[in-house]
Structures are given as C-alpha cells and as structure tokens.
Amino acid sequence: MAQVVLKDVVKNYGNVYAVNHVSLTVEDGEFVALVGPSGCGKTTTLNLVAGLIPMSGGDVVIGDRIVTDLDPKDRDIAMVFQNYALYPNKTVYRNLAFPLQMRKLPKDEIDKKVQAAAKVLDITHLLERKPRELSGGQQQRVALGRALVRDPRVFLMDEPLSNLDAKLRVQMRSEIKRFHQDLHATVIYVTHDQLEAVTMADKMAVMNGGFLQQYDSPANVFANPVNMFVASFVGSPAMSLIPLAAVTRGTEVALTSPEGWELPLSPANARKALNAKSPKVVLGARHSTVKLHKSQVPGSVPGKVYTVEPTGDITFAQVFVSSAILNISLAPSVQIRPDEPVFIEFDQDKMHLFDGETEMALKAD
Amino acid sequence: MTSIPASIPAEAVRPTATRSIDWWRWGGRVFLVFLLIFTVLPMAWMLLTSIKTQFAALQYPPQWWPAEPTLQNYTRLLDPSGSIGKEFLLYFWNSFYVSLATTILGVAVAVPAAYAFSRFRFPGRTFLFFAVLLRNMFPAVVFLVPLFLLMRWLGLVNTHGSLILTYLTFGLPLSIWLLKGFFDNIPIQLEQAARIDGATRFQAFLLIVMPLSSPGIIATSIFSFIGAWNEYVYAYTFLSKQETMTLPVGIQRFFTEFATDWPGLMAATFMMSVPVVVLFLVLQKYFVRALTEGAVKH
Ligand SMILES: Nc1ncnc2c1ncn2[C@@H]1O[C@H](COP(=O)(O)OP(=O)(O)O)[C@@H](O)[C@H]1O
Ligand SMILES: [Mg+2]
C-alpha cells in the first residue's frame, strides 16, 4: 500500500478543462472519496491516476515513484469500473486469473489466489460462469474480485455501486468499507452520491467544473463548507440558500429581503456579513437548524409552506422564504398545510453566510 | 392477513380483442415465396443441366428431368490428367489463391485501420474516414482504365498481384467501415481494465479486443473473399495469359473452344459456387451477428 499525491494535475480537451490544477494527497491506507456532480471531472481524474489517458500537466506520485510517464501496467494499481468491464468471453475464473497471468505467476499460485479471492467475495460457485450469466450484484463482486486478487498499491473505484439497486448498494457499501479496513488499503473512490462519500470515506474531495473545491473529512466538509457549491452539494436534503442584503443599523447589522423583512445578526455573524465584497450576502441553513412557528416570534421571518412530505419519523417541509425554498425537518406531530403562512427562526450559531458575489463562505476575522 | 373484499362494478364491460386477417403479413409471405422461386429456379436448372449429357441438354422441348443422369461432366472437370480438368483446376487454384491473398491482406490492413478510426482522435480523422468511403460512391468500372494504366506502369499486367491490389482497394472501404462499427461497440473500459491488469496496449488489443471482434473479422473476410472470387471485369482486362486466368474468366472458354458445352459449363459454374456456399453456411451465424451487432449501437 502506498501514498498517492496529485500535484497540479491538469487535463484539457482543447478549451475544455476536465481537470483544472488539482492537487491533493491521499495518505497510505486512507479511503478518499472523489465526489461531485456528473461531468465535473471525477472519472478523468481517476483515469489520470491510472495512466489511462495522457496528462496535460502536473505529476502523479504513487508511493516513492513519480508515475507520470509510466504505463498503467507499471503503476501497480487495481481499478473497478462503473460498468464493471468484465471480459465477456472469459469465465469468472479466467477474469480473476487474468491480472495474475499478465504478471506471469505460476499456475498453482494463480489458482490459490483466485480461489482465495473468490472465497472472500462468496463467488466460488460462480467461477465457471460467463459474466453475462451473472446478476448485476454478482458481476459487481467479480469486478471487485479482479481488483482484490493481487495486492496493488492503490485501489481505484469509479462509481462501482451506481448500477446496483438501492438495497444492494447499501450492502455493498458496507462490504467495501470492510475490505478497506481489513486490507488497510489505499482507496480512491469516485461517486456522484454525496451520501456514499460521507458514509464511506475518511476524507472527501469535492469537485466541480474540473476544480477541487474542498478536501477534508466528511464531518468538516459538512460543518464548514468553503463555498455555496459545497454547501448545497453535501447533505440531504440540501442546505437552503437565501440571497439577501446586509444593512447597517447603527451598531447592529441585519439582513434584509426584497420583501422588506429584516433579520438582525449576532455580533459574530455581523462581522462575517461586513466582510463581504458587496452588500449581497447569502444565508445558508440546514434543515435541522431552523425552527418553524405558526405565529411571529422575535427574530423570525415570514414564509409560506410549499410542500409537506411525511416520511414516518420525520416530516420534511419546503417553505418559501423570500425568493428561495427552505428545507425544514419537523416532528411528525406538527400539523401544517400547503400555502399556510408560517414564521421561521434561524439558529445564529449554526447559520452559514456566503459572499453573494464570490460565493465563498464568509469568515468573522 | 385479512383479505379486503372487492367486487367488480355491475356496469363494467369486458371488451374482447378483435383480430382481423393481417393482409400485409400475407402479402409479404407471397412476395417472399415469389422471390425464393425467382432465385432458386435458375440454380436448380443449372444443377439439372450439369448432370445431363450434351445431347439431352440441347433437346427441344427440354427434358425437365434428365433421363439418364450422369456425373461425367464433373469427373471430366476434376480429372487432372485430362486437358479440360487440368485447365479447370488451374483456374480454380488461381481464383482461390487470388481470393485468399486478397482476404488475408485485406484483414491485415482493415483491422488496424478500423481500430485506429474507432479509438484514436487524430488530425484529419473524419476526412480520411470519408475519403475511404468515397471510393464506394463510384461504380467499379469507372476505375478500369486508370487502374489498367497504373498496373501497366507498375509492370503488373498479367500477374495476380494486379488483381489482388485492385480487389483490396475495392474491398477495404466496406471492411474498414464494418469493423469500425464492431470496435465502436466494444467498451473502451475493457481495454483499460486489461491495461491496468498488466497488459500492454497491444496485448489488450490482441487478447481482449480481437477475440470479441472475431464475428466482425469473419464477416469481413467472407465479404472480401466472395468479392474477389466472383469478380470478372478486372480479371478479364488485366489477365490475358491463359495460365494466370481466374475462374470467372476461364469458364468463358467453355463457350468458345468447346462449342458451348452447356452441361460442362453448368458443372463448372456449380463447382465455382461451392466454396462460397460452404463458406457462407459454415460462418453464417457470425455473419448475421456482424451485420446486426456491428451496425446497431447498444
Ligand atoms: N475524450 C473527451 N473529449 C472531450 N471532452 C471530454 C472527454 N472526456 C471527458 N470530457 C469532458 O470532461 C468533463 C469531465 O468528464 P468526466 O471526468 O467523465 O466527468 P465525471 O465527473 O462525470 O466522471 C466533461 O465535461 C466531459 O465532457
Ligand atoms: Mg464518471
């Protein structure tokens, strides 16, 4: 197992920058999730680490070797593809044996390793089948087996669970997590599903438009998103973002809406709001940090209920506040109806403020 | 479990499906039967004539069924000691040699070319690909004179090389196009997986892509083989020496030298169609797969 370093990695197709100066370090034995919306450059980044496409700039280091100019076969990596990429004309056994044959291992050793990997993944009874005779979940296991059968320095996985149904996905999620812990493997795991990233990874690298937005532990990314993109991407339901304007009233600072209401800010939040480049400030709030009132209380702002979604133990409501829609979670006992006027109270300690121009999180100092 | 009683409302009706005679389907069947008769009849007549005697073949009204069937025409053609047999077997061998060489060389060129068109982005790729297809927009005869002049200049007239070269230029566009469709349908991730598993680019192609595209390669081979095997005009123009002639040209000599030996001619024609039919029957499942899989994207 080894550390992986991406240094200033660039990949462009003409004017399209699929990966734009990405730098990050994956420590030995760490599970890092590369997460972002479709088309943000995750697969391209992974392919650059694997050496499957030529880089436009930068370097990739695996362990103590700069592998930038090495072929994929010389990088000592294993990869699981989104569509599994099992060799359709080979049996499961031959699929698993292929990486070992390519490395010219003796026959009996190949057999030992294939059997061992098959046992771990519980696919021993499938060894003589062709990939097309397997279910999606079984194909997934074989694909995983082909990666596990030799011990590579790094595992690369490109949305390995996205073709599975919801139940199987949750099961495989914990199994992959388990493999990582048992093998102390270095894993780079690509997904567009932020929940997968949050639940599985030691660290998550959030990407958008080819740029690395934030690289930190899931807890830190959740608590301190660096910009509006990360704020709205991580967490489910997403953080609500309400564009407002900052005004100074003597020593006080408040946020005003175009409709005319004002929300006075605490001293810490006031300092943040004053650090914005322009008066435009965006208020961010997670569903669990806002309270809903039926009548006006001090510091609350008016809104109107849009939809109500009971899920059993929590009821999610969407409320129009100014020009935005705010997600709120409620106790199932709260009775509200669509179009009902309500009042929203924000938690000053847990609210997020973003610069309306730069979209970056505002800091107090 | 409790079951909730349900009743069908009294006013509910049950519409029955009406099925009328599908005239289109029947029309299609009749048309296909007609087409079948149209194509099979000449062949049946060819076969019947080939087992008649020369006398019986010329009778009028014709003998629908040969009164004394004989295989003598075939034995004559296949007997290497007789002059006719020697000639026929020579033409047969020439045809076989030219067609096989065309096929092997064609596949050897078409496979890498199609792979490059399918996988690599290089300057002039689109232009080159359409340039390859452009050849197919003209009837082959258009190139007869220019190619003849070219062959004379190269000193290839009266050699099999001239035919092999010509057939290659005619067969390659279709081969490349067919194979490209095939390679396009093989996910690039398979090669990527192989390269990560320790294969070089070439090994990934050889061990993973080639076996998967074998139906396409086989179909392409049949196309080039049949094309070369049946070609007449170029063979007639480029080859004037009797010992270099291919079957389509050679068979002609049954008209002139032997005062139109109909049974012999028919026997020779039948023999000529044997390799094509055998090839097709043996490999037809690949052939059909190639035409359907290669053309349609999944
Ligand atoms: N071969 C290519 N040619 C041109 N553009 C490409 C190519 N491969 C990827 N891209 C572009 O690069 C961007 C990132 O793609 P990708 O890494 O596949 O995204 P994802 O995060 O969904 O995996 C996309 O905008 C895509 O259109
Ligand atoms: Mg992708």
Q: What is the pLDDT of residue B95?
A: 93
For residue A255, the number of C-alpha atoms closer than 13 Å in the C-beta half-sphere is 31
B83 in the same domain as B46:
no
B25 in the same domain as B163:
no
CATH code for the structural domain at A240-355: 2.40.50.140
pLDDT band at A250 (very low <50, low <70, confident <90, very high): confident
Q: Which is nearest to B172 in space by CA: B236, B97, B114, B230?
A: B114
Distance of alpha carbon A79 from alpha carbon A40, whole angstroms: 20
A interface test, pick of B186, B197, B203 with most A CB neighbours within 10 Å: B197
pLDDT band at B136 (very low <50, low <70, confident <90, very high): confident
Question: pLDDT, tens digit, for every residue of B43-82?
Answer: 898 888 888 877 777 777 777 787 778 888 888 888 888 8
In a domain, B178, yes or no: yes
How many contacts, defined by CB atoms under 8 Å, are there between A and B?
Answer: 55
A37 alpha carbon, closest ligand: 1
Question: pLDDT, tens digit, for every residue of A69-95?
Answer: 999 999 999 999 999 999 998 999 999
Cβ contact A315:A266 at 8 Å: no
Q: What is the pLDDT of residue B296?
A: 41
Residue A361: DSSP 8-state: B
Residue-range domain boundaries for chain A: 4-224, 240-355
In a domain, B23, yes or no: yes
End-to-end CA distance of chain B: 45
Domain A4-224 maps to which CATH number in 3.50.50.60, 3.40.50.2000, 3.40.50.150, 3.40.50.300?
Answer: 3.40.50.300
Provide ipTM, 2 decimals. Answer: 0.86
Question: pLDDT, tens digit, for every residue of A276-299?
Answer: 989 999 999 999 999 999 999 988
Question: Comparing B4-13, B111-120, B204-213, which segment has the lowest mean pLDDT?
Answer: B4-13
Q: What is the pLDDT of residue B297?
A: 38
Task: Enumerate residues 6+ apart whose C-beta is below 8 A from B120.
Answer: none
Instruction: Give the chain A residue whose CA is nearest to the CA of B192.
Output: A52
B97 in the same domain as B37:
no
- Rounded to 10°, the helix B214-230/B83-119 angle is 140
Q: What is the pLDDT of residue B255?
A: 65
Q: A88–B212: do the CB atoms touch at under 8 Å? A: yes
- B239 sits in the region (left: phi over 0; alpha: psi -120 to 50; else beta) called beta
B97 in the same domain as B35:
no
Question: pLDDT, tens digit, for every residue of A184-208?
Answer: 889 999 999 999 999 999 999 999 9
Residues of B in contact with A46 (CB under 8 A): none
B134 in the same domain as B42:
no
B181, pLDDT greater than 90: no
Q: A73–B199: do the CB atoms touch at under 8 Å? A: yes
Q: What percent of chain B has pLDDT over 70?
A: 93
Q: What is the pLDDT of residue B170?
A: 87
Structural domain span for residue B170: 79-293
Question: pLDDT, tens digit, for every residue of A309-338?
Answer: 999 899 999 999 998 999 999 999 988 999
Q: Which residue has the higher pLDDT, B253 or A192?
A: A192
Q: Which residue has the higher pLDDT, A210 or B279?
A: A210
> Is beta strand A211-216 parallel, antiparallel or unpaired with respect to A262-264?
unpaired
Of B190, B196, B198, nearest to A87 by CB-CB distance is B190
Distance of alpha carbon B242 from alpha carbon B158, whole angstroms: 10
In a domain, B27, yes or no: yes
Q: Which of B35, B50, B65 is the last residue of a domain?
A: B50
Cβ contact B217:B283 at 8 Å: no
Residues of B in contact with A85 (CB under 8 A): 187, 189-190, 192-193
Q: What is the pLDDT of residue B1?
A: 58
B258, pLDDT greater than 60: no
Q: What is the pLDDT of residue B78?
A: 84
Instruction: For chain A, give the mean pLDDT.
Output: 93
The residues pairing with A19 across neighbouring beta strands, listed in sequence order, are A11
> Is beta strand A57-62 parallel, antiparallel or unpaired with respect to A31-35?
unpaired
Instruction: Please report, for residues A35, A45, A59, the alpha-carbon distance to residue A17 in angstroms, rounded to integers and kept in the order given.
Output: 17, 11, 16
B162 in the same domain as B282:
yes
Residues of B in contact with A99 (CB under 8 A): 197-198
Cβ contact A343:A318 at 8 Å: no
Instruction: State in Å: Cα A43 to ligand 1 middle.
Output: 7
Residues of B in contact with A155 (CB under 8 A): none
Of B190, B196, B201, nearest to A50 by CB-CB distance is B196
B83 in the same domain as B36:
no
pTM of the model: 0.83
B295, pLDDT greater than 80: no
Number of domains in chain B: 2
Instruction: State in Å: Cα A44 to ligand 2 middle.
Output: 7
